Amino acid sequence: MSGKRKKGAGKAAPRAYGRLTRHERDTLQRMLERGASCRQIARELGRSPSTVCSEVASHRFVTAPRERRGERVDASADLSAACPRLAAWPRCCNGCGRYRAIGCKRRPHVFYDARAAQLCADSVLVSSRRGIDADEPAAAARLEAIRDCLRRGLSPEQLSARNGGPVDLSPSTIYRWVAAGYDGMTNMELRRKVGYRPRRRAAGRAATRHSARRSHAAFLALGEDACAAAWEMDTVEGAREDCACLLTLLHRPSRLQLALPLEEKTAGCVADALEGVRAILGADGTRRVFRAVLTDNGAEFSDEGAIAALLGEGPGETRLFYCDP
């Protein structure tokens, strides 16, 4: 095997364009402190030397004199009069032996700081996504065109140039400008956001007809104690494709609930379930337990005579009551 090293071996693989990360900036700062060259740093990061040089030149900060501490130095600033090191690579005081040993008397002191560089880069990235990327006359013309089209009833999709409209913006950008309130526009000008279609509602089932003595008003006339001790009867349905359901009888004072399976949600099945309860409790037991029962106006409770008889209702008394529709 040949001992020769292939050309380019050991270099970082080339990468697609992307902004420098905080880790890369930390690496850059550490290598500057060690006195690495621009090409060495670029090889370590897998970036071009021009990217590294531009990064250092754009994010230099003054540490001395004190009154200028924290000031950012522009990349085009000529600092050759202060120190030759600031005129060419590394263009900063990082790794300077004079500064470390006896303290440099030259001013200003300019250092590359990874943390401050990351904060500056993040602020530029955020600010670049705000506002309108156009000069004032062009922005005013676009906003006027958008407002005029919206006034004529066009949607952002219709007025977008992507769909053959007069405004050279995407629909999402138009929506964003309107939502941001540019030129006084509001979402009220977007018909799709303020318009609506009446929902189709399924025709409700007719309420169960019952005699006046079984009304909710008659139930309330029983008194507070009798109402509190009454049973509440209802049905609980399962999945839509399943016709089976439960008949529930709830006694709130004792927290007792009976759940009786029904094959179908019909008056006949409800009567069969109550017949089973009556067979277990007996006629006298049913009369003692179910002194008052309140139910809703569902079609499954339409046979009030059969239900009342199964609950033990005798002549001249009322045990079954219905809620208001």
- Give the Cα separation of 202 and 295 in Å (integer): 23
Percentage of residues in the chain having pLDDT higher than 70: 82
Which residue is listed with tokens 């004032």?
A: 136
* Angle, alpha carbons 241-242-248 (nearest 5°): 140
Structural domain boundaries of the chain? Answer: 22-126, 136-191, 212-322
* The pLDDT of residue 210: 78
* The pLDDT of residue 87: 84
Amino acid at residue number 324: D
Q: In what order do the strands lie in the sheet with 60-64?
A: 72-73, 60-64, 109-112
Q: Distance from first CA to last CA of the chain, Å, rounded?
A: 94
Average pLDDT of 32-54? 92
Q: Distance from CA of residue 278 to its chain's centroid?
A: 54
Average pLDDT of 132-156? 82
- Give the Cα separation of 323 and 319 in Å (integer): 13
pTM for the complete prediction?
Answer: 0.40
- Sequence-ordered list of residues with C-beta below 8 angstroms from that of 168, at least 6 positions apart, any chain: 142, 161
**CATH number for the segment(s) 212-322:** 3.30.420
Examine the pLDDT at 152 and tell me if it is beyond 50.
yes
pLDDT band at 149 (very low <50, low <70, confident <90, very high): confident
- Sequence-ordered list of residues with C-beta below 8 angstroms from that of 253, at least 6 positions apart, any chain: 228, 229
pLDDT in tens, 49-63: 999 999 999 899 998
Which of the pair, 129 or 264, is modelled with greater confidence?
A: 264
Say how many C-beta atoms besides its own lie within 10 A of residue 135's C-beta. Answer: 8
